[in-house]
Structure 1
Amino acid sequence: MSSLSLRLRPKKRVNRSFMGSLSLFLLLLVFGSFMILPLVYAINNAFKPLDEIFLFPPRMFVRNPTFNNFSDLVNLLSQSWVPFSRYIFNTVFITGMGIVGHVILASAAAYPLAKHHFPGKAILFQVVVLSLMFTPAVTATPNYMIMSWLGMVDTYWAVIVPAFAYSLGLYLMKQFMEQIPDAILEAAKIDGASEYRIFWTVVMPNVKPAWLTLIILLFQMLWGSDGNGFIQSEQLKTLHFAANQIIQGGIARAGAGAAVALILMSVPITLFIFSQSQIIETMATSGMKE
């Protein structure tokens, strides 16, 4: 078939009636409204006075908004013998080191699994897939035993090192790297590029949506970590632990607990908003074809 006939062939278009588009929009609007309700409730709860927080039946929207919950939170934090900035540093350090280390290790391990052939490759990948079936509660005791043998209990590394072995990241990177055409890698080898250069300058830029999605997943997991029994020293505790201490302080701290809950959830949500396009591209990608 000539190129002229290909150009003249009309393109197929998906036709949808106005009522069909409207029905789809309304359906998505209904489901979206249900999904956003917890966030709306958390925002309103942070600005409710105590009498509205304990009102039964509870109200979704605040009637008399106040900033007393946030001022009470500041007073509580100022009375702590460990500075609040220390909790923030601990959380940021654990989250940052865990994300950087896991993205590098997961990507480096996924590259040979996706683009090289060696004995035992299929078995290794099956082990990775099998590990996805185990929940954190199942692996908590083995993780503690391993950290104890390594002498890392009551240190930052007791939380960071297990994050390096997050098998979902390895699975995600491997599956995404398989979509890169082999012709691109072969062209780089012909040009004299080493395996390390191919990995850093060819593979990693092409799987950017995948490792950005992985950053979001790791951030959500590590940001909400309270040590899981690995950390006992108060100076090494995370922000989530400090928040739990406030929330469990009784009825008088209910307002401060609502304020700190809003602050904790606002950081992952903000990060997701700025990177949602990359996540959607990862989840809905059609792959790269040769």
Structure 2
Amino acid sequence: MRLFNKRLNRSLPVTTLLFLFLAVFGMFMALPLVYAVNNAFKPLDELFIFPPRFFVRNPTLDNFYDLVAVMGDSWVPISRYFFNTILITVFGTGGHIIFASMAAYPLAKYKFPGSKVIFQIVILALMFSPHVTAIPNYLVMSGLGWIDSYLSLIIPAMAFPLGLFLMKQFMEQIPDAMLEAAKIDGASEFHIFWKIVMPNVKPAWLTLLILQFPILWGTNGGNFIYSEELKTLNYALEQITEAGIARAGVGAAVALILMSVPIILFIVSQSKVIETMSSSGMKD
């Protein structure tokens, strides 16, 4: 206990130096984001000027107007691309959190034959990149008849092994006495899972939300979806930027749109993750 109660003593000069050190590196890491935001509002002459300028001098919204005009000429409305992306992202992320949590609960709180082997397989699956499993995923989706459908992107996202690993590690920290007390009071397994376990592992599934959402939001589904009306927003915007130099400004606006949603989600969820982590430490 003395280790946890011991107060950290640090002089003011050292604290100031540490703060400045972290502030410098924080600003350095923010430079790509600031540069992308400035590029989205640069006219074409500033985008191609040499040496390149970091900050915009004559901000304009022409890049966004051009993007709206280009998307308006498409035979598939931009609202359809937004709908496809939101549908895939919401169901893929939400399904991943739910199924990973449901699979992690028995692995964390019950000992049954083969549980250790299953968890070792999950750990082994973390070693393989998505490029390695792309062909097996395609064969499975093709065999199930899910090619050129939303399910070809949603179902594989639900089987992300990192989610199962992370949820299991968090659930193991929940005291068994709490679950046993709930069983004595007559609570069912589903009631224990939804009302006790899931609220106490909120940092874990918020972390999964931050990790999984950008992956699905930025996918183009080109290997699994071929119908234009099922394409995602990222695919449509990529086709616009491939038109050449004349679309450089539109491409900068596209980059800002694609990265803005995950960044906003991260900013909103980060505070909740820190808050829940600081208040969810439990011991037997």
TM range (shorter): over 0.9
Inter-partner Cα distance in structure 1 for 2:282 and 2:222: 40
Which residue is equivalent to 2:88? 94
Task: Choose which of 99, 114, 117 in structure 2 pairs with 1:123.
Answer: 117
Give the partner amino acid of 1:275: S
Q: List per-residue Cα deviations over 1:211-240 (Å, max 9, x = no partner).
A: 111112111110001004100000000000
**What TM-score, normalized by structure 1, do the two folds share?**
0.93
Matched, 1:43 2:15: no
Give the partner amino acid of 2:35: Y
Matched, 1:233 2:222: no
Task: Choose which of 11, 19, 29 in structure 1 pairs with 2:23.
Answer: 29
Task: Choose which of 260, 264, 271 in structure 1 pairs with 2:254.
Answer: 260
* Secondary structure of the structure 2 residue equivalent to 1:138: coil
**Paired residues of 1:110 and 1:173 also in contact (CA < 8 A):** yes
Matched, 1:133 2:127: yes
Task: Choose which of 140, 156, 177 in structure 2 pairs with 1:146.
Answer: 140
Within 5 Å, give how 1:159-170 maps onto structure 2. Answer: 159-170=153-164
Task: Choose which of 63, 67, 70 in structure 2 pairs with 1:69.
Answer: 63
CA shift for structure 1 position 279: 3.3
* Secondary structure of the structure 2 residue equivalent to 1:232: coil
**Paired residues of 1:213 and 1:282 also in contact (CA < 8 A):** no
Inter-partner Cα distance in structure 1 for 2:232 and 2:251: 16
Give the partner amino acid of 2:158: F
* Secondary structure of the structure 2 residue equivalent to 1:171: helix
CA shift for structure 1 position 132: 0.4
Q: List per-residue Cα deviations over 1:121-163 (Å, max 9, x = no partner).
A: 1111010011001101111110000000000000000000100
Query: In angstroms, what is the RMSD of aligned CA positions?
Result: 1.6
Give the partner amino acid of 1:61: F
Give the partner amino acid of 1:174: K
Inter-partner Cα distance in structure 2 for 1:102 and 1:90: 18
Relative distance call for 1:201 and 1:284 in structure 2 (3 A) is closer
CA shift for structure 1 position 282: 7.2
**What TM-score, normalized by structure 2, do the two folds share?**
0.95
Unaligned runs of 5+ in 2: none
Matched, 1:60 2:54: yes
Matched, 1:200 2:194: yes
Relative distance call for 1:127 and 1:282 in structure 2 (3 A) is farther
Matched, 1:14 2:14: no
Percent identical residues:
67
Q: How many residues align?
A: 281
